[in-house]
Amino acid sequence: MSNDLAVVSQDIYACRDAFLAVQAEPSLNFDREANFAIQILEGNSYTLKVALQNRQAVIDAVTNIASIGLSLNPAKKQAYFVPRKGKICLDISYMGLMDLAMSTGSVRWGQAKLVYESDTFELNGVDQPPTHKTKPFAPDRGMVIGVYVVIKTSDGDYLTHPMSMAEVMAIRDRSEAWKAYVKDNSKLCPWVTDPGEMTKKTCVKQAYKYWPKTDRLENAIHYLNTETDEGLKQTQVTPQVDHGLTQHWVAQANVAATPEALTEVWKAGVAAINEVKDMASYDAFKAAVVARGTELKAASVDAEPQPAADEEEIEFAEVNP
């Protein structure tokens, strides 16, 4: 072990008490995480050089691992140490965010996927997963045109959040790291080296606003928004509730005559509400669509012909909105 690495390693092991004081995930082991951190620094001379320039930042990064509850284990691909602005920072992958959402009970299951030009992608209404047909072994699937995150809540509902690449690029363009790269392309950033990863992470960070909240997931998102240069720093704004928007789409849901019509209302309503980021309208609209879907199902069952006692019973497929 080099002298430089020995110095930083000593700093890392010295923060054991701080690590244990803020540890959020009981399964994390300080010695293992310290070893992973040292391996990262040992494997990259530039990263080690940056760590020596600001040794306190390394300690902060290690304690952040504990407070958020993710691991530096390279096999899990949850989190990494990266040099940024002259110091070592903790970076959380989209897989880390999804693992955190599932382990804390915010969601039961979830995934983020890129959508290519040759793919078929369709939303299927409230509480239903989307349809995404791909040709994974095609030599050329075309350009990436969008991304989506789909999760299953603890109640068994599906929530899907799609984003076009134009929406993703608008967020990328606000990133301090991207701005620095545009000025000097020798300053590489994750948007350049890992565009797919950053696209998925951007979608996850937008989608989580509609998920059940947990403290650890909130802390992880807050850390990324305030301590990194990903272009998602939050400003203090007073949420504006558009009652007219809510009433319009609730009324549209209530008059939908068929499950198919209700699905179309859901797609259009979610698109309109997403534009204004009105969570209150989203909740009210979703409740109205679910209620109307239940009514349509009940009406469909009542309208089914009843078989005679001596006739073979016929099974009717349930139609979901």
Same domain assignment for residues 191 and 274: no
pLDDT digit of tens for each residue in the chain (321 aa)?
578 899 999 999 999 999 999 998 899 999 999 999 999 999 888 889 999 999 999 999 999 999 999 999 999 999 999 888 788 989 899 899 999 989 888 889 999 999 999 999 999 877 789 999 999 899 999 999 999 999 998 888 889 999 999 999 999 998 877 888 899 888 778 899 899 999 999 999 888 888 887 888 888 888 887 776 554 444 444 445 567 888 888 888 898 888 888 888 888 887 787 777 666 777 788 788 888 888 887 777 665 555 544 444 433 333 343
Q: What phi, psi does 153 have (nearest 5°)?
A: -75, 170
DSSP state of 127: T
CB of 121 closer than 8 Å to CB of 91: no
Q: How far apart are CA 15 and CA 38, in angstroms?
A: 13
The range of the structural domain enclosing residue 292 comes to 243-303
Same domain assignment for residues 212 and 292: no
Domain assignment present for 321 = no
DSSP E strands in 16-102: the ranges are 79-84, 87-92
Domain assignment present for 311 = no
Quote the number of domains for the chain. Answer: 3
Domain assignment present for 108 = yes
Domain assignment present for 320 = no
CB of 81 closer than 8 Å to CB of 89: yes
CB of 39 closer than 8 Å to CB of 46: no
Which of 75, 92, 109 delimits the end of a domain?
92
DSSP E strands in the chain: the ranges are 79-84, 87-92, 109-116, 120-122, 131-133, 144-152, 158-164
Same domain assignment for residues 140 and 188: yes
Q: What is the pTM of this model?
A: 0.66
